[in-house]
Structure 1
Amino acid sequence: MRILGLDPGLRVTGWGVLEATGNRLSHVADGVVTSDETADLATRLAQLHDGVMAVLERWRPNEAAVEETFVNRNPHSTLKLGQARGVVMLAPARRGLPVTEYTPNAIKKAVVGRGHAEKAQVELMVRTLLPGADPARADAADALAVAICHAHLRASARVVAAALAGGAP
């Protein structure tokens, strides 16, 4: 199973791809998609969409996971971030991929074991859980954390569903 994790942002959207084989996770690729801060909003959203589509085309994931982000201080920023999230989620959905959302606390808990972990702890655990991964930017590390969270919670959901159905996972 190839999983794409996405950490949406209007300026920088992080992405990370990993392979999940049973309980084993392996790093495939990571990076960022950026938009031109001097461009109008519609152009920036198109740049994000095109960038995520290029990632989907190159790495061909089976599923996608996106971090739910909330900004409460500035309503204008919150609205722009929501638009960026919508575009980032639209790209894999248009390719027919299931897209799952996770809160920042759920991601931190799945990766570090604490829902209020610091960014540095998350990045350290990403590098620990995915040997060979060396994300150049925090946004890419965050996206890999989203993918790790999805891999862990997806596997747990399968076990629970199988147990409820009375069968083996």
Structure 2
Amino acid sequence: MLILGIDPGTAIMGYGLIEKKGSRLLAVDYGCWRTPAHTPMTERLLMLYNDIAACIKNHQPNFVAVEELFFNRNTTTAISVGQARGVILLAAAQAGIPVSEYTPLQVKQSVTGYGRADKQQIQQMVKALLGLPEIPKPDDTADALAIAICHAHSVNLLNRMGGSL
């Protein structure tokens, strides 16, 4: 099973594609998509959509996992992240791929076992769980891989309970 995890953003959008083989998790592809500063939002969203759609077409994941919008005090940032999430959801829907959404707390608990884990703890666990030689950079990439890992763990749990996604 291939899972594409995406950490939404308009300047930098992290992505991480993992394969779940039994109980093993393997990193297939990961990185980030960047849009140039001072580019109009409509153009940024189109660039991101094209990158996501190409990734989906090239890898044909079974699932897309995305972080839920965590509303903070900066409403401008929240709105732009919401727009980026919309592009992700659209690309996945057009490809007929189911999308699962996870809160930052769910991702932290799933990857580290602790809901208040800091970035460094999450990054170290991503490295360990996927057997990577180093922590993926930038942070958005490690976050995207963590989101994909969270989904893989959720699938395990649902399978044990007899459910499905």
Shared fold (TM-score, shorter chain, > 0.5) = yes
Q: Which residue in 1 is equivalent to 2:23?
A: 23
Q: Which residue in 1 is equivalent to 2:81?
A: 81
TM-score, reference length from structure 1: 0.91
1:33 aligns with 2:33: yes
**CA distance in structure 2 between the aligned counterparts of 1:116 and 1:90, rounded to whole angstroms:** 31
**1:103-147, CA deviations, whole angstroms, 9 ceiling, x for partnerless residues?**
000000000010110000000000000013642311111000000
Q: Which residue in 1 is equivalent to 2:148?
A: 147
What secondary structure does 1:29 align onto?
strand
Q: Which residue in 2 is equivalent to 1:100?
A: 100
Q: Is the CA contact (8 Å cut-off) linking 1:15 and 1:32 kept in structure 2?
A: yes
Tell me how large the CA RMSD over aligned residues is.
1.3
**1:7-49, CA deviations, whole angstroms, 9 ceiling, x for partnerless residues?**
0011111000111012111111101011122111111110111
Q: Is the CA contact (8 Å cut-off) linking 1:5 and 1:16 kept in structure 2?
A: yes
Task: List, as ranges, runs of 4+ consecutive aligned residues in structure 1 with deviation greater than 4 Å.
Answer: none
Q: Which residue in 1 is equivalent to 2:161?
A: 160
**CA distance in structure 2 between the aligned counterparts of 1:76 and 1:126, rounded to whole angstroms:** 30
Q: Structure 2 matches for 1:52-71, cutoff 5 A?
A: 52-71=52-71
Letter in 1 for 2:24: R
CA displacement at 1:67 relative to structure 2: 0.7
Structure 2: give runs of 5+ residues left out of the alignment. none
TM-score, reference length from structure 2: 0.93
Change in CA separation of 1:94 and 1:26 when aligned onto 2, cut-off 3 Å: same
Structure 1: give runs of 5+ residues left out of the alignment. 163-169
Letter in 2 for 1:27: A
- Over alpha carbons, which structure has the higher Rg? 1
Q: Is the CA contact (8 Å cut-off) linking 1:37 and 1:44 kept in structure 2?
A: no
The count of corresponding residues between Structure 1 and Structure 2 is 162
Letter in 2 for 1:158: N
